[in-house]
Amino acid sequence: MLKMANVEIDDLRFTYLDGTMALDGISLNIADGESVGIVGANGAGKSTLVNHLNGYYLPQNGTIKIAGEVLSKKTQENIRRIVGVVFQNPDDQLFSARLYDDVAFGPENLGVEISELQKRVETTMKELNLWELRDKSPAHISHGQKRFAAFATVLVMKPDVIVMDEPTSDLDPRNRRKLINLVNALSATRITVSHDLDFIFETCKLVALMSTGKIVAYGKTDEILSNQLLLESNGLELPLKLQK
């Protein structure tokens, strides 16, 4: 018997007010604990899909079910507790005067008891080598540190599903490797949207290739990302590690 999908997307369609169809019948089932990469050229619809996964957008047509719960206006807030999103720009998630307060913000607003809150924040920050920076302003830490701080604000919430939007943008090789190790150690269901196909190759078991609002291919990462003709016909190139 197949394991019930943690994320089920069925015939999802979305059109912007200017008439641009961003999603044109997306269907995708992602099993609990799976790691899936979503790739495609600019304008393929990846960001619009991401914005549906935590209820920023609600489906115009079709359905999204996460952990068995159908996304709607009524369930929007609960879905956001289940799904954590790491945005492309860390500054979108870091807004407090102290880094500690940014990491504590989410669980504090959920009413987590103070002793549990402090324990959770300290543990998360130590795991990501951020504890020594806890009293610093996010404005005074490096971009790499900001990237891991953004992850901390999500991981401290203990989400069942983690969505990452271009997580390696502007990271140096050392921090990129640290991030690969971090992502591969996560037990939550992971959905990664990225142009960094080498990162997808190293962190995702499955890949969905998007083009003009549709999923044009879905399968094992090594099969999709080694198919030069498929990638090039959809505006992408082979990962660097596979280029001769």
Mean pLDDT of the 47-53 span: 92
- What backbone phi and psi angles, to 5 degrees, belong to 110? -85, 0
CA 78 to chain centre: 18
- Helix H, strand E, coil C: the string for 18-55 is CCCEEEEEEEEEEECCCEEEEECCCCCCHHHHHHHHCC
On the question of pLDDT at 13 being above 90, the answer is yes
Confidence of residue 169 (pLDDT cuts 50, 70, 90): confident
Confidence of residue 5 (pLDDT cuts 50, 70, 90): low
On the question of pLDDT at 28 being above 90, the answer is yes
The CA distance from 206 to 94, in Å, is 31
- pLDDT number for residue 17: 93
The CA distance from 73 to 58, in Å, is 7
Can you give the residue range of the structural domain that contains 167? 5-242
Q: What does the block give as tokens for 222? A: 């090594």
Share of the chain above pLDDT 90, in %: 89
The single-letter code of the amino acid at 25 is G
Q: Give the domain CATH number at 90.
A: 3.40.50.300
Q: Domain tally for the chain?
A: 1
On the question of pLDDT at 96 being above 80, the answer is yes
H or E element in which residue 146 lies: helix 143-155
The CA distance from 56 to 50, in Å, is 9
On the question of pLDDT at 1 being above 60, the answer is no
- pLDDT number for residue 2: 37
On the question of pLDDT at 54 being above 90, the answer is no
| Mean pLDDT of all residues belonging to the chain | 93
The single-letter code of the amino acid at 192 is T
Q: What does the block give as tokens for 126? A: 């130590």
Share of the chain above pLDDT 70, in %: 98
Mean pLDDT of the 115-124 span: 96
Strands (E), 68-188: 69-70, 83-86, 161-165
- pLDDT number for residue 63: 96
The single-letter code of the amino acid at 11 is D
On the question of pLDDT at 4 being above 50, the answer is no
